[in-house]
């Protein structure tokens, strides 16, 4: 479910962002996913032991669990960027054709 939510959120964010904003959306999504999954794990009490060893274990588990969602978000985001670039290029070509 996380992967679907992240993919849809990333697609909508990239679709709404300006060309200059694509960079910020695509580079910001993976850390947000990682922080969210780690925060949920810590709040849910996923670490049996307290201290730095328990938090390190939670960090490793969270990273491993969030990795597929991070990759999926990047792939979906890049696909939306590619579609937008193709559409913009098509519009530019049509505009150039009308001027002639």
Q: Look up the pTM and report it.
A: 0.77
Averaged confidence pLDDT in the chain: 85
Of the candidates 37, 40, 39, 25, the residue with the CA atom closest to the CA atom of residue 74: 25
Q: CA–CA distance from 61 to each of 17, 47, 67, 70 (Å)?
A: 32, 10, 10, 14
Low-confidence ranges of the chain (pLDDT < 50): none
Q: What is the pLDDT of residues 19-33, one digit of tens each?
A: 899 999 999 999 999
In the numeric block, which tokens belong to residue 42? 């810590």
User: For residue 53, how far is the Cα from the chain centroid?
Assistant: 29
Other C-beta atoms closer than 10 Å to the C-beta of 29 total 22
């Amino acid at each position: 479910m996380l992967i679907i939510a992240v993919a849809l959120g990333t697609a909508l964010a990239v679709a709404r962002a300006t060309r200059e904003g694509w960079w910020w959306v695509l580079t910001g999504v993976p850390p947000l996913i990682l922080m969210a999954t780690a925060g949920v794990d810590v709040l849910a009490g996923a670490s049996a032991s307290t201290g730095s060893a328990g938090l390190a274990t939670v960090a490793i588990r969270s990273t491993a669990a969030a990795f597929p969602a991070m990759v999926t978000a990047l792939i979906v985001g890049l696909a939306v960027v590619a579609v937008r670039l193709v559409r913009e290029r098509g519009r530019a070509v049509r505009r150039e054709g009308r001027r002639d």
